[in-house]
Chain A
Amino acid sequence: DGGITQSPKYLFRKEGQNVTLSCEQNLNHDAMYWYRQDPGQGLRLIYYSQIVNDFQKGDIAEGYSVSREKKESFPLTVTSAQKNPTAFYLCASSIDRRGQETQYFGPGTRLLVL
């Protein structure tokens, strides 16, 4: 089945630790996105990538880093510089062609700080 997978479903981080969230898609989509959702809030854009080896900062990129070495994969690293990382993280992808930008979301990763 085609879709977007995220792992792990739950992730625990200790103070000062970097953690990496995985996002993989087999939809052959060009564009991929990372969002953060806090309880009772909407989604905020962290980073996005329209093509392999290129990515752009979103609204809340500080304390996060990404890479896009393969079309199918867009991992997100939450660094120790992110002081309040507890949130629900959602990955999405789209074809990124005018008129067909429907975004499809993965199931999300819940990150908790110990």
Chain B
Amino acid sequence: GIQVEQSPPDLILQEGANSTLRCNFSDSVNNLQWFHQNPWGQLINLFYIPSGTKQNGRLSATTVATERYSLLYISSSQTTDSGVYFCAVEREDTGRRALTFGSGTRLQVQP
């Protein structure tokens, strides 16, 4: 199956700092999503981004499909950004229509 690697595994920031989270994947994909899991376990979809660049407020994401990686940028971080960020992909040209998740980046934003 497809491999999804996220880095760094853990990240501690001071409030107001910027950060970049990376997701590498081992095969061509037709679906890539970024999620945020809050401390209570709820997952929220941040971006659906199989290619290109999108922005939503302080967050933006870029996927370079030909080089098999995606980046999530968090600017001016806030304590509410804390939690785990997951990248998930769907491999292209398979009959399986479901996501494979990476192991996540655990972010802690300190006041």
A residues engaging B (CB < 8 A)? Answer: 31, 33, 35, 37, 41-45, 48, 50, 56, 58-59, 88, 90, 92, 96, 98, 100-105, 107-108, 110
Contact = CB atoms under 8 A, between A and B. Distances in A.
A103 B45 contact: yes
B43 A90 contact: yes
A42 B104 contact: yes
Interface residues of B, number: 24
Contact of B99 (A45, A56, A98, A108): A45
Given A42-B86, A59-B1, A102-B33, A48 B98 contact: yes
A58 B102 contact: no
B48 A101 contact: yes
A73 to B, nearest CB: 19
Contacts of B31: 101
A107 B42 contact: yes
B103 to A, nearest CB: 4
A49 to B, nearest CB: 10
Interface of B: 1, 30-31, 33, 35, 40-45, 48, 86, 88, 90, 96-104
A45 B86 CA distance: 14
Nearest to B106: A40
A75 B30 CA distance: 28
B86 A43 contact: yes
B98 A58 contact: yes
**Residue among A37, A42, A105 with the highest chain B CB neighbour number at 10 A:** A42
A43 B101 contact: yes
B104 A107 contact: no
A87 B97 CA distance: 24
Nearest to B47: A102
11 contacts: A31-B97, A33-B99, A56-B98, A88-B41, A90-B43, A98-B30, A101-B90, A101-B97, A102-B48, A103-B45, A105-B45
